[in-house]
Amino acid sequence: MQPVSSPPEPLLRVEGLSKRFGAFWALREVSFDVRPGEFISLFGPNGAGKTTLMRIVAMLSKPSTGHVWLNGVSFKAARTEARRELGFVSHQPLLYPDLTAEENLAFFARLYSLDQPRERIRGLLDRVGLSHRADDPVRQYSRGMQQRLALARALLHSPRLLLFDEPYTGLDPVATEWLTRLLGDLAVQGQTVLMTSHDLERGAALASRAFILAGGRLVYAADASRLTPGELAAAYRDASAGVLAEMRRV
């Protein structure tokens, strides 16, 4: 009889996470795990707390209460070590517009103390289709090109966890399809990803699990491969309706 293998330890663990801005609670007791190689798509209406959650996991904000661990390391105990395991892409590219693509990546390579990064930089620019524009200032890039470079920046130091906060925002159809293909490649390669999105269809197709955040609470979690057509959309509508009902009571 073959021994039953235990599931891998979570790469990311979020426990009891809450965030308050004055009297307003943006997050309320959010808890979940992300295992190595999972692609988690997190959905929710505007104001659900998605960006607040991602900023905390990206170590750009601190929670009011709760804990986050990455690869078993507490953010509170070892922020610098944990940050090196993260790559973050948001709807804002977080690039220097007057630097070229290559100069931007070289700058971030120095921040991560990467040894001899030139080959790595050239490989990433080729991967995201920007080799031919490597010497152009980023201010001359389209929105889609900036998002490609932001992804190269996030991958530069080979992070164990990639965070995407609504990466499709502002992209035209061509850039959207390109990003979907690249995200699909990352999923196939076993890269661990946590992504927020309003695009239920694309997000569910990429995901191994789908979450819904509403009113600052995690209200839904499902294995994406077992979702029936329309089930996620129905859960999203119910969550959104619940948030609207709560807003009317306030």
- Which phi and psi (to 5°) does residue 130 adopt? -120, 10
> How much is the average pLDDT of 225-243?
83
Q: b/e per residue, 215-231, with b = 16+ CB within 10 A?
A: bbbbbbebebeebeeee
Predicted structure pTM score: 0.90
> How much is the average pLDDT of 144-173?
93
- Which H or E run contains 14? strand 12-21
pLDDT digits (tens, 9 = 90+) for 103-148: 999 999 999 999 889 999 999 999 999 999 999 999 999 999 999 9
Q: How far apart are CA 233 and CA 56, in angstroms?
A: 27
CATH homologous superfamily of 8-85+162-168+193-250: P-loop containing nucleotide triphosphate hydrolases (3.40.50.300)
**Structure confidence at residue 84 (pLDDT):** 87
Q: What angle do CA 168, 69, 77 make, to 5 degrees?
A: 125
Res. 249: pLDDT tops 60: no
Cα distances from 18 to residues 63, 89, 129, in angstroms, run 6, 22, 39
pLDDT digits (tens, 9 = 90+) for 2-36: 554 556 689 999 999 999 999 999 999 999 999 99
**Structure confidence at residue 247 (pLDDT):** 47
Q: How do strand 12-21 and strand 65-70 relate by DSSP bridges?
A: antiparallel
